[in-house]
Each structure stands twice: as structure tokens, then as C-alpha cells.
Amino acid sequence: MTFTLQKALVPVDRGYSTVDVQVVDDRITAIAPNLEAIGTVVDCQNKLLLPGFVNAHTHSSEMWQRGAIRPVPLELWLAELYDFVPLEIEQIYLTALGTAVETLLSGGTSVVDHLVLIPGKEIETIATAVRAYKEVGIRAFIAPLIQDESLTAGVPSGGTEQEHDAYIRSTGATLALIQDAVNKFHNPSEGVYILVAPTGIQLCSDALFTGCVELSERYNLCRHSHLLETKAQVLLAQEKYGCSAVEHLKRLGYLSERTSLAHCVHLTDEDIAILAETQSTVVHNPLSNLRLGSGIAPILKYRQAGVNVSFGCDGSASNDSQDLLEAIKIGSLLHNVTDLDYQHWITPRQSVEMASFGGAKGLNVADELGSLTVGKKADFVLYDLTNLSLLPRTDPIGLLILGRPTQVVDSVWVNGKKIVGNGQVTSIDVDNLRKELFDRSQWVTNRQSQTLDEIEAHYRSVMGLSEKSGYS
């Protein structure tokens, strides 16, 4: 593919400049005003060109349950989520497509899918997500979600004796599964990356973490995990390790410049220093943190400490959408209430950089992606500045980040290939996707989670809440 974008508006220093961009194959070969037109010419007048954002943490198949789970904290929410988890391969396929489409239409060109695996069909689940993402053409970082402890082990014991069932699969079998997935699907040149991704300290043994470190080193894989999303996990880490979870992960060797950690809501100053020292990345998922009452991640502190931060939507059952621009807006504004010194607040241009370059850095691909730079991959997004929600004309990036942009993505290229044009995804049949999602679902009313009912009283007692009085 050879093409030239003509007269695109791009941010420079504090202002904007109108430039042409030449692309040959999958790379940007020149950026300057009035370049010679090579290949297909794309008129970009009155359009803003930005590097693609990274949806740096999500769980695609949660889309089947979006809007369905009542307002409860993570530990109870998870119990309900897993009681109704989709078990058909076709469901994995459809929501991977849906996640990709919503990410693309809100400025993303890459997605990190912390993919929930169907028990007994683990490799098939990964193969299906790979197929869906390749069909759409989005850059896919697939992080098969693994654990080796059963769900109830994720709630602190509060000093009481608790029995937990053994997990369905041994640690060794789980690591072998990931190795198999790497052999079969890890293919960065085709835009598919496999990550090691133990779900978090709450459900994973040390052996699983160290096994993942070994795989990561052997195959040069990025590492992903949830980290200290809730207060309950802080208590659990103390019970399990007698020290903070961050300290423990550092000792296990899990933290590194290619490690990205979702949430990081409850970290101490010492923990933050460890993230900075190990060059780990924090993935901020503000909507999920609000939805589950987890808290406000101390993002301004991370930035001041030099910790790289990117944005994620998190799964659609705790957000309940995959609108990256919405996550970026809330994730930028939320912190103004945590620090009186407005000079620490995140500016719209910084938000764009966190979402693009920060996202790429967290996935160890900042030399290839994350900015409009000659030599880098052609992963970028063109926004229509004549859209009503971006008018009247003021500061395009200010409007995009602080406003309520509606259907503003005009075109998207990933790896030099155009997959969105005139505001429509062109690589797959989105009308058919809508029909499939509609036909395979029904309105959810008043469903009851047995597991949630079973663990609720214990959760309330450990967290110092009054005895269960039920919902009205």
C-alpha cells in the first residue's frame, strides 16, 4: 500500500500545522507540507490526524453482560460475572469483533484483550479472538487470562478459616497452555501478539507468576496483570505475603519495562517508587473503577514519579462500553479533584500522548508505534473537524478530549491498511454483527447470581460492613 494524506492537521509544539504524510507499505516515509503525491491520494482537509490510541485493558467477552450487573464491588461483581460467562465459541468471536469496532470508532488502533478462556476450549478461545481481530484488522495484543486458584480465594479471610476448591487446571498445565498459544499465535509482524497475563495476586500463586516471567523472557513477551484494584486486595496481599503486592511482585521479578498493570488504585508511595524504578506501566481504567466503587487511582502521583500511564476501557461488564474517548476524558478530568495544584492536572495534549505513546510504551513497541514519526508504523486516525460535536472551531484536541465527540472518527489505518472510511468499519459487515448480537441475546431482567449470594455475607463481614440487609 502506497498513499499520501494531503493537508492533514497535526499537532506541533503548542499549535497545529497542515502537512502531507506519505506511507509506503506499512510505514510512514515522510511528513512535511506539500509533498509529492505518491500512490492513492487522500484529501484530509479539515481533518485532524493523530496516532492511534491503545485500548490498553479490556475483556472482550464481557460485552455479553454489559449493563446487566447491579452496582456491587469487584469481588461480588466477579461472582455474578462468572455465573453467566459465555460458553460458546461463536460468542467469543462476535464480542471480539464488537470490541474491535467500538475501539476503532473511538480512536483506538490497538487493543489489549485480557481474554477470558472458556474452560476446556482454551486454545479454541484464543484462536477465535485471533481470527476476529485479524478480520477487522485492528492490532491485537491478546493476553489469555489465567489463574490457578479458585474464585473464593480472592476474598480476604479476615482471620477466619476458609476452604477453597482446587482450581480446574494445574499451574503446570496452565503454563503449557500459554506456551502452546505463543507457538501457535504470537506473530507481531501480522499484528497479533500474545502476552503472559496472570489475572492478579488475588487468584494466582507465585509459581504461576514466575512461570510467566520465564515464558516472557524466553519468547520476548509483554506481561500484563490486574493490580490492587480494590481495598479487599490490599488486605488479601497482607494476608498472603505480609507485605504489599507490589513489593511481592518485584521480588518475583514480574515488574519490568514491558509489564503493564491494570488499575493500580491502592498503592502506597513506596509502591509507586517501585513501579518507577522497574519502569512498569499503569493502565488507568477510570470508568470501571467508578462503576465498581474501587476508588480513584493516584494518576497524578504516578505521572510526577515518572511512571508511564495509559488508558483502558476495561471489560464491557464494568464500564459498560468500549468508548476509548470517553475513558480518556473521564480518566483525565477525574484527578483534578485530588490535587489543588492545577499545574499537576492532565492537559488534553498530555491525554493524547498517554493514550497513544504511553499505550505503545506499555507494550514495549514505542519504537514502532504511538506517534506520527517517519519510520514508524502507519497506525493512525483521522477525525472529522466539521462534525457538529467538534464545532465551532476552537482547539481541535481540546474539543476531542474535553468535549463529547460523537461519531468523529472519519478514517483509520492500521499497519498501513485502511479499515475505517467515512466513519464506517470497512473490513467486516457491521450490520451483520449487530444482527448476530441482537439475535443471540435477550433483555436481562432480575437474574440471580448464586455465587454472589453465597459469598456476600462473608464479604460484608471482612470489609466491616453491616450485616446483609438485602436489596430493595
Backbone angles phi, psi at 433, to 5 degrees: -60, -45
Of all residues in the shown chain, the one whose CB is closest to Zn ion is 314
Give 80 or 314: the residue with its C-beta nearer to Zn ion: 314
- What the block records as the C-alpha cell of 272 is 509507586
- Encode 348-406 in three state secondary structure: HHHHHHHHHHHHHHHCCCCCCCCCCCCCCECCEEEEECCCHHHCCCCCHHHHHHHCCCC
CA–CA distance, 289 with 307 (Å, rounded to integer):
19
| Helix (H) / strand (E) containing 3 | strand 2-12
**Minimum distance from residue 13 beta carbon to Zn ion (Å):** 36
**Minimum distance from residue 312 beta carbon to Zn ion (Å):** 8
Give 111 or 409: the residue with its C-beta nearer to Zn ion: 111
Give 318 or 427: the residue with its C-beta nearer to Zn ion: 318
- What the block records as the C-alpha cell of 467 is 450485616
Q: Report helix, strand or coil for 293.
A: coil
Q: Where are the alpha helices (DSSP H) in 186-291?
A: 206-219, 231-241, 245-252, 269-278, 286-291
Sign of CA dihedral 33, 36, 40, 45: positive
Give 359 or 396: the residue with its C-beta nearer to Zn ion: 359
Q: At what angle do helices 245-252 and 206-219 cross, to 10 degrees?
A: 50
**Minimum distance from residue 229 beta carbon to Zn ion (Å):** 8
Give 4 or 230: the residue with its C-beta nearer to Zn ion: 230
**Minimum distance from residue 289 beta carbon to Zn ion (Å):** 10
**Minimum distance from residue 241 beta carbon to Zn ion (Å):** 22
Q: Report helix, strand or coil for 279.
A: coil
Give 314 or 456: the residue with its C-beta nearer to Zn ion: 314
Please state whether the peptide bond connecting residue 392 to the residue before it is cis, i.e. omega within 30 degrees of 0: yes
Binding-site ranges for Zn ion (CB under 5 A): 314
**Minimum distance from residue 63 beta carbon to Zn ion (Å):** 13
**Minimum distance from residue 315 beta carbon to Zn ion (Å):** 6
Give 26 or 314: the residue with its C-beta nearer to Zn ion: 314
